[in-house]
């Protein structure tokens, strides 16, 4: 056997037990001692290795999106959008690309129930011929904040109280009472869709505005939408309590059971596109991640379908070590000036390097499936065997070259350095529009959830008044109902 071609895998299992270094183990149940009752000897290498490895089985938990489940499948292009992008995996109808998806909750720990009212992560890793593309989104099309500077504070507010380790919504309502930009996202979180029935009946969104670039270099802003073919279904509060009390992994089990039964989950991919020259024509900023693009103005365009037809082989290897980052893109897709997206392009890769190490992209689940080459050498846990003598570029001893140039946005940006907010905040209109689109019973459930949380004894009269004022500006009648039931007056 060529030792340099051997890759650790269950396929190479010995018929008998061994140490990590391959030495046979003839007794796996007893430590080496002085006599049958004597002290344990430190020279028992197998005992030391076994216990020491067990002590290190857990890697750092994700700060957010710790609770999740993954599945594998493919993406197939169904509609031609080659006039919009030069991305190879979108080059023509019929093209299929392997992928892996991770669904998750955001706030709570790795073993938390999947019935908690919380945004859900919806992250897709496409293994394309031009490298990986990570579309890292949520089940809400928008987000609470528009500037990444606020993200650590947002998560701290949602996370459990650092003193008691209990999630307490007075902290959430206190923090967001300073941020009316969050209103539209609360119309998703406190709506019925705040608790999806399971992962199969859940929408997904790229959330941010990205850019598509075609071969001629023409740029279009784009938003991505995943629509489940089996429809969107949610759990009401009492249902969530009942199901969560019976099985705190119900969504993961539903995903795996469906795939094993051949009832493969499927989503259709749609996009919205906009000419950057038109971005000033709206009463909101199209790059503001707290805003949707109205579909009656910017319609959805079909692109393809995603089918999940295989469960993961190992949960740790293909879920815990699975790592995403919005910075992982391919030619034909690029970023926009969305402030939150700009921050996430750094933050996600940084957290993976902390969690998994600098070579996390060498792990099989994260590595590209196409040929790749660079001079990123060594570092902790680098297990790639390389025998090159030249680890720099350029060199006359190495024929490797730079790839062919591909187009990226070339718009000219001018302005002064400053820390400021965007001009078109428009914090209330879309929140009110969404509330008014609901049936009366759905509106009533939404109001009841707000009454419940605003009635917390730790929520002060001032904070209640601010929230009533915010919702009054979104919808006058919503504000009046909240004010009446809470016995407060708007503060603004």
Average pLDDT over residues 297-304: 98
> In this model, does residue 318 exceed pLDDT 60?
yes
Lowest mean pLDDT of 62-71, 144-153, 270-279, 483-492, name the range: 483-492
- For the stretch 151-184, pLDDT in tens is 999 999 999 999 999 999 999 999 999 999 999 9
C-alpha span between 429 and 475 (Å, rounded): 8
444: confidence class by pLDDT, cuts 50, 70, 90 = very high
> In this model, does residue 9 exceed pLDDT 70?
no
By 3-state DSSP, what share of the chain in percent is helix, strand and coil, each rounded to 5? 30, 15, 55
b/e map 72-95, b = 16+ CB within 10 Å: bbbbbbeeebeebbbbbbbbeeeb
The pLDDT assigned to 388 comes to 87
309-315: long-range pairs with CB below 8 Å, 24+:
309/72, 309/73, 309/74, 309/259, 309/264, 310/71, 310/72, 310/73, 310/259, 311/71, 311/72, 311/255, 311/256, 311/259, 311/260, 312/70, 312/71, 312/72, 312/100, 315/70
> In this model, does residue 1 exceed pLDDT 50?
no
Average pLDDT over residues 271-299: 97
The pLDDT assigned to 4 comes to 44
- Annotation marks residue 65 as catalytic: yes
The pLDDT assigned to 392 comes to 85
The pLDDT assigned to 76 comes to 98
C-alpha span between 316 and 338 (Å, rounded): 33
- The whole-chain average pLDDT of the chain stands at 94
Lowest mean pLDDT of 276-285, 314-323, 482-491, name the range: 482-491
489: confidence class by pLDDT, cuts 50, 70, 90 = confident
> In this model, does residue 7 exceed pLDDT 60?
no
Of 132, 138, 139, 359, which is the active-site residue?
A: 138
Average pLDDT over residues 454-464: 97
Higher pLDDT, 101 or 22: 101
The pLDDT assigned to 317 comes to 95
Q: Please name the residue that has the structure tokens 């790639």.
A: 384
- Annotation marks residue 138 as catalytic: yes
376: confidence class by pLDDT, cuts 50, 70, 90 = confident
Of 46, 65, 208, 250, which is the active-site residue?
A: 65
The pLDDT assigned to 8 comes to 59
Predicted TM-score (pTM) of this structure: 0.94
The pLDDT assigned to 412 comes to 85
The pLDDT assigned to 491 comes to 67
- For the stretch 203-221, pLDDT in tens is 999 999 999 999 999 999 9
The pLDDT assigned to 5 comes to 47
Higher pLDDT, 7 or 177: 177
3: confidence class by pLDDT, cuts 50, 70, 90 = very low
């Amino acid at each position: 056997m060529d030792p340099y071609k051997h890759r650790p895998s269950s396929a190479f299992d010995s018929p008998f037990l061994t140490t990590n270094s391959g030495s046979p183990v003839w007794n796996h149940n007893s430590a080496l001692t002085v006599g049958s009752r004597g002290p344990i000897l430190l020279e028992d290498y197998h005992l030391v290795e076994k216990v020491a490895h067990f002590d290190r089985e857990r890697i750092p938990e994700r700060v957010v999106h710790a609770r999740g489940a993954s599945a594998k499948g493919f993406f197939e292009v169904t509609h031609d959008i080659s006039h919009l992008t030069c991305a190879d995996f979108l080059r023509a109808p019929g093209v299929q690309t392997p992928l892996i998806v991770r669904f998750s909750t955001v706030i709570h720990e790795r073993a938390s129930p999947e019935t908690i009212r919380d945004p859900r992560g919806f992250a897709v890793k496409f293994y394309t011929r031009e490298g990986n593309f990570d579309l890292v989104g949520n089940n809400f099309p928008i987000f609470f904040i528009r500037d990444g500077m606020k993200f650590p504070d947002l998560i701290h507010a949602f996370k459990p109280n650092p003193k008691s380790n209990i999630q307490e919504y007075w902290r959430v309502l206190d923090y967001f009472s300073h941020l009316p930009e969050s209103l539209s996202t609360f119309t998703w979180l406190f709506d019925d869709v705040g608790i999806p029935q399971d992962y199969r009946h859940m929408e997904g969104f790229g959330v941010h505005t990205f850019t598509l670039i075609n071969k001629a270099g023409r740029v279009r802003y784009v938003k991505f939408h995943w629509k489940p073919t089996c429809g969107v279904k949610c759990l009401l509060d009492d249902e969530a309590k009942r199901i969560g009390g019976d099985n705190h992994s119900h969504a993961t089990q539903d995903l795996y059971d469906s795939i094993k039964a051949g009832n493969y989950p499927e989503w259709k991919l749609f996009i919205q596109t906009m000419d950057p020259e038109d971005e000033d024509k709206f009463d909101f900023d199209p790059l503001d991640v707290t805003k949707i693009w109205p579909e009656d103005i910017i319609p959805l365009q079909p692109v393809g379908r995603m089918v999940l037809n295989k469960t993961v082989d190992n949960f740790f290897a293909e879920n815990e070590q699975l790592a995403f980052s919005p910075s992982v893109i391919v030619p034909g897709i690029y970023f926009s000036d969305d402030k939150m997206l700009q921050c996430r392009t750094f933050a996600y890769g940084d957290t993976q390097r902390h969690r998994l190490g600098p070579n996390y992209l060498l792990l099989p689940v994260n590595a590209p499936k196409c040929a790749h080459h660079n001079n990123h050498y060594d570092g902790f846990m680098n297990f790639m065997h390389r025998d090159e003598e030249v680890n720099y570029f350029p060199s006359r001893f190495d024929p490797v070259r730079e790839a062919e140039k591909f187009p990226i946005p070339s718009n000219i940006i001018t302005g002064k350095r400053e820390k400021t907010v965007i001009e078109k905040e428009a914090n209330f209109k879309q929140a009110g529009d969404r509330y008014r689109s609901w049936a009366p019973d759905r509106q009533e459930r939404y109001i009841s959830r707000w009454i419940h949380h605003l009635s917390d004894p730790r929520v002060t009269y001032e904070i209640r008044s601010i929230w009533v004022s915010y919702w009054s500006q979104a919808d006058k009648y919503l504000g009046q109902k909240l004010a009446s039931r809470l016995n407060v007056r708007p503060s603004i």
